[in-house]
Structure 1
Amino acid sequence: MRDLPLILGALGPIFAIMLLGLGLRRLGFPGEDFWPATERFTYWILFPALLLHHLALARLADYPVGPVATVIVALLLGMTAVIYGVRTWLKVDGPAFTSVYQGVIRFNTYVGLSVVLAVFGTAGATMAALVMAIMIPLINVLCVVVLNTHAGGKATVGSVLRGLVTNPLILACLAGIGLNVGGVGLPWGSAAVLDALARAALPLGLLAVGAGLRLDALMRPGLLISTSVLKLLVMPALAGIFCWMMGLGSLERGVLVTFAALPSASAAYILARQLGGDAPLIAAILTVETALALITLPIILMSVL
């Protein structure tokens, strides 16, 4: 219980900024066009700057990349098996199943990095960037395969690969790792520029997350709660088990379990719209998971600190 004030102090501002975004959008300020533009700018410029900055300057040799990658692969495949295992019990059609799948597998990068920075500091942020470099490509491939299989999506191998190689978060992670391993670092004063951009990434990203929440999210409450339990409780528990099996340290375990416990991301809604998933359902899932994370994240963090 001694860690509870630390956790609540770290998470309180994060959720307060999200609620501010929700309130501002409901008030129509500064305008409806502001929020999509903010999300694009954060996704394409600010967030890549943050990841590039952390990875290019980190001491990567201090991190157990192999065991961490093993845990991530085992976690994603394990949760895929769990979701397919409960599909009959959920009683959903193909498009709805894909939304449940995305609601469980995906994670909100804005919330994740904000939480990790607040609780675990700079070392945690670097670990989070490494986790994202591994998780994002795998998650995108899995989600596209599931959507193609159950929702009649039209994505091809080529389109999936193009989506991965043009993903700004993946490119920033690869660039940061390349600059680090090559001994280049961040030359010509670029570190200061990237640091300034990185400082704007998380508050703007959290505002956009809050602005994207839906207040009409009470459709199919049983399915929403079931999906949220899988995402916010079962997935972090499984992550903790795999971390223990691989003998990971407290920092790696803390970051991995935190990411496993995050609510899903708005990218799930976009992909559902593109590939025939149940878009209204995933929008409701995102809102309910984000609201419930106010309760579950402190509990999960207390278990790993």
Structure 2
Amino acid sequence: MEGVAGALGPLFLLILLGTLLSWRRQPGGDFWPQMERLIYFLLFPAMLVSTLATADVGQVPVVRMALVLLGSMLAFAGLLWTIRRQLKLEAAAFTSVFQGALRFNTYVGVAGAAALHGAPGVTVAAVAVALMVPVVNVLCVISFIAAGTLGPSSLGKSLAALIRNPLILACLAGIALNLSGIGLPGWSGSAVELLGRAALPLGLVAVGVALRPQALIRLDRGVWTSNLVKLVMMPALVLVLALILGLDPVTRDVALLFAALPTATSAYILARQLGGDAELMAALITGQTLLAMATLPLWLRLAG
């Protein structure tokens, strides 16, 4: 337990630092919104390209990992739609519960994989991102369409944003460079790697800045459902499947880590843009991030 806590502890301290900076309103103005854009559109894609372009992906059991992660995600997506009537939630609230149960904080996931297993962990995490990001984005957009919260104009914009998603494009670019044998030649490799190194610490601080502690007062059926799926049921199913399919320890730990991650802070923006319940989304993001500080080490300890 001390090893897991020692690896993840510094990550949570950076998140708490971000919360403190937000509370103190430092730096002021639009610094953090602009920083988030820089991380999302440049630094994090650079890290993914650098990792995937040069990694020995052949050492990662991609098919079995996909069965574990995507199988679990699709199973709970289907479950949530099956019990939608029993939840008695309005359409906007349901889409936020759906996002809260399925989306994951990529920054925390990759940083956690690096802290636990170093370079091999980052490679497996990059593969997990390449597998999960396109699928979860498609599922969430479909949920808004099916729930009826999207207007005709918003549908086209959301699909266009999905196609232009910088994380998806970065994964495709990195895989293409890897498979072609080009990699990142000359100085480009070191330059892209240096850019990518800035992504994780800044991304973790940005996670803390985005938290809204005042949103924690909301504790309704939607909050409990989403938190139960995301922090308990999803990692439990992933752990069982990982053991059944015989994943190696590094891949198993990273798969479990990504399954137990709190939901993504970007889900709040999506909820606002596509007709979701933004206040419920804020409560889910904040509550899950704080709860994950306790549940993540417990799940990883159980796996180990």
1:13 Cα deviation (Å)? Answer: 0.8
CA contact (8 A) 1:148 1:275 kept: no
SS at 1:92 equivalent: coil
CA contact (8 A) 2:92 2:276 kept: yes
Say whether residues 1:299 and 2:298 are aligned partners: yes
Offset from partner CA, 1:3-27 (integer Å, 9 cap, x none): x111111111111111111111111
Say whether residues 1:63 and 2:60 are aligned partners: yes
**Residue of structure 1 equivalent to 2:225:** 226
CA contact (8 A) 2:261 2:296 kept: yes
Q: Distance in 2 between matches of 1:277 and 1:63?
A: 37
1:21 to 7, 18, 21: 18
Amino acid at match of 1:58: A
**Residue of structure 1 equivalent to 2:269:** 270
Amino acid at match of 1:114: A
Q: Distance in 2 between matches of 1:37 and 1:159?
A: 21
**Residue of structure 1 equivalent to 2:212:** 214
1:188 to 165, 186, 189: 186
Describe the shift of the 1:33–1:157 C-alpha distance in structure 2 as closer, same or farther (beyond 3 A): closer
CA contact (8 A) 1:56 1:176 kept: yes
1:91 to 60, 81, 88: 88
Q: What's the C-alpha RMSD, in Å, of the aligned pairs? A: 1.6
SS at 1:221 equivalent: coil
Structure 2 residues not aligned, in runs of 5+: none
Deviates more, 1:93-102 or 1:68-77: 68-77
Deviates more, 1:262-271 or 1:67-76: 67-76
2:126 to 129, 143, 147: 129
Describe the shift of the 1:299–1:78 C-alpha distance in structure 2 as closer, same or farther (beyond 3 A): same
Q: Distance in 1 between matches of 2:212 and 2:84?
A: 25
Say whether residues 1:175 and 2:173 are aligned partners: yes
Q: Distance in 1 between matches of 2:29 and 2:229?
A: 33
- Superposition TM-score, scaled by structure 1 size: 0.94
Q: Distance in 2 between matches of 1:239 and 1:55?
A: 24
**Residue of structure 2 equivalent to 1:73:** 70
Describe the shift of the 1:37–1:92 C-alpha distance in structure 2 as closer, same or farther (beyond 3 A): same
1:124 Cα deviation (Å)? Answer: 1.0
CA contact (8 A) 2:11 2:108 kept: yes
Q: Distance in 1 between matches of 2:16 and 2:213?
A: 12
1:151 Cα deviation (Å)? Answer: 4.1
CA contact (8 A) 1:10 1:119 kept: yes
1:65 Cα deviation (Å)? Answer: 1.4
**Residue of structure 2 equivalent to 1:120:** 117
1:303 Cα deviation (Å)? Answer: 1.6
Matched residues, percent identical? 46
1:161 Cα deviation (Å)? Answer: 4.6
1:154 Cα deviation (Å)? Answer: 3.2
Offset from partner CA, 1:176-232 (integer Å, 9 cap, x none): 111111111111211111121111111111111000100112343143233212111
1:67 Cα deviation (Å)? Answer: 1.8
CA contact (8 A) 2:100 2:263 kept: yes
Structure 1 residues not aligned, in runs of 5+: none
User: How does 1:159-174 map onto structure 2 within 5 Å?
Assistant: 159-174=157-172
Offset from partner CA, 1:8-55 (integer Å, 9 cap, x none): 111111111111111111111111311101100000111011111111
CA contact (8 A) 1:228 1:285 kept: yes
SS at 1:216 equivalent: helix
1:253 Cα deviation (Å)? Answer: 1.5
